[in-house]
Chains A and B, each alone.
Chain A
Amino acid sequence: MVSEKDVQHIAELADIGISSGELGTFTHQFNEILEYFDTLDTVKGDAAATRDLYNVMREDETEPSLPQEEVLRNAAAQEDGFIKAPRVM
């Protein structure tokens, strides 16, 4: 069982933003779904095998890319050819 406090904490970890009015519904749905996930407790077997693709890395060489103005076109806040982000300090 997860509590409203747990859901609030997860919402903060995920930067999801949650209002107190939604907390009850989300917590109820969370518990229903997690209870269903509990079926996995009884699963037996080995972990997934590796895939059959190898060495998908390429040499670190410059390849064609988008011009700066096209990359910036969708960013709402810009300054001097850079994308502006919220402050971190």
Chain B
Amino acid sequence: MLSETSIVFEPDDKFNAFLTVCNRATHTGGKLAGVAVAIKDNISTRGIETTCASRILKGYVPPYDAHAVDLLRHAGAAIVGKTNMDEFGMGTTTENSAFGTTLNPHDTGRVPGGSSGGSAAAIAGGMVRMALGTDTGGSIRCPAAFCGIVGLKPSYGRVSRYGLIAYANSLEQIGPMGKTVSDVSTLMQVIAGYDCHDSTSHNKPYTHIPRADINGLKIGIPQEYFGAGVDPAVAAVVQSAIGRLEELGATTVPCSIPSMKYALAAYYVTCTCEASSNLARFDGVRYGPSADTKKPWHEAYQEVRRAGFGAEVRRRIMLGTFALSSGYYGKYYAKAQVARENVRKDFRRIFADVDVIAGPTMPTIAFRLGEKSDPLSMYLADILTVPANLADIPAISVPCGKAGGMPVGLQIMGRHFEDERVIDVAYAYEQAVV
């Protein structure tokens, strides 16, 4: 048994990055001995309140650790707190938190991105060096891009989802976020690997050390990532970053992902359907605010769920319920699965010819607070990140400059289980510009 010691953690949290702070965080020895790590609030932490930024889980203290958290503790990490997020991961700004929005450390009039906005702001604001986020349709990469940090959505199946409070199981992964590519790689070494508690887990540990050599690498540049809807100023910054990769010995070839036309609709149908099933468990009986046990169950559950869920969560549960209801399943869910398979096929075709695909992480810089008030316009912002989730492939966002004074992220996507390669490309870029 390793001896336990503790660190004092008292951050000046001007950005509302944390929902829970552990002022005295214990840790053991190991690869991450004494390193302060923040955890997104939808990842279970034994003995530390875990709310998913929702009133319906206020006061819930998990009796067990998520597998990724267990691995972090065994590596000596000090779990210093739980970070703010869009409620249950549903959002692109962190404004959908029931406990107030997180602010972007680069400009407090702007959002940090979401849904892992608290983790990104905690890193960008200098409070921690690394954090865990989760990525269902871009929730690690978007805030990484908006806050000027590094974030990896691992290949589906590489990091256990055990203890991640589920929103859309077939799409989401826990992943590392950090100040640098090396930090992200180190965190990935700790959290990746097989776990018998997650039936979609693969035996693919990650033992890689980043290498900056990309000589001879072939990069696909999809036209859809530089087309309509992408801010030309953002596109220009990313183009110049790709030019830098060419100077380092990589070659680029144009490519096309025609299935992207359907990707966003396929993503939102799939995630709302999965959410409608997953979130049925929040009824105030086993955890959360109590249901009135004297009332009939429908009435009692409706009361708890109306008071406990925010508007976006209720909207997505209802959309999913509708899309799965009798007579509509074929029109929505079944079609979405066809569209998803087409996205996978497009990536397989492109990856037969190229090693990685590069483009912007987000089509714009961080939005102003309150700018995206209507749900559909918020959904459209996810267009460049959802394809990787639909195809199960790894994707990283690495800072590549600024537009309008705000950080821009370069996104690198790779073949399924080639997380090492996207890490290397991001590392090569980062080392070339420091």
Contact = CB atoms under 8 A, between A and B. Distances in A.
Interface string A51-89: 101001010000000100011011111000001111110
Contacts of B199: 53, 56
Contacts, number: 170
A1 interface: no
Chain A binding site: helix, strand, loop or mixed by DSSP? loop
A24 to B, nearest CB: 13
A55 to B, nearest CB: 10
B266 interface: yes
Contact of B196 (A53, A58, A77): A58
B319 A74 contact: no
B341 A30 contact: no
B268 A37 contact: yes
A66 B46 CA distance: 12
A43 B342 contact: yes
A48 B63 contact: no
Contact of B335 (A7, A22, A32, A41): A41
Nearest to A22: B311
Contacts of B296: 86-88
Contacts of A75: 285-287
B207 interface: no
B261 interface: yes
A86 B293 contact: yes
Contact of A40 (B285, B292, B309, B336): B336
Contact of B376 (A36, A40, A43, A56): A36
A40 B262 contact: yes
B334 interface: yes
Interface string B351-389: 000000000000000000000001110010000000000
Residue of A15, A41, A51, A84 with most chain B CB atoms under a 10 A cut-off: A15
B272 to A, nearest CB: 9
17 contacts: A17-B307, A22-B311, A29-B374, A36-B264, A36-B376, A39-B261, A40-B336, A41-B335, A43-B335, A43-B339, A66-B64, A71-B63, A74-B63, A76-B284, A83-B285, A85-B285, A87-B296
Given A37-B269, A75-B287, 18 more contacts: A15-B301, A16-B314, A17-B306, A26-B318, A32-B374, A36-B379, A37-B265, A37-B323, A40-B335, A43-B338, A45-B341, A47-B338, A76-B288, A76-B289, A77-B285, A77-B290, A83-B285, A86-B301
Pairs of residues from A and B, 10 with the lowest C-beta to C-beta distance, nearest first? A17-B306, A76-B290, A17-B302, A86-B300, A74-B287, A40-B335, A56-B199, A86-B297, A70-B63, A14-B321
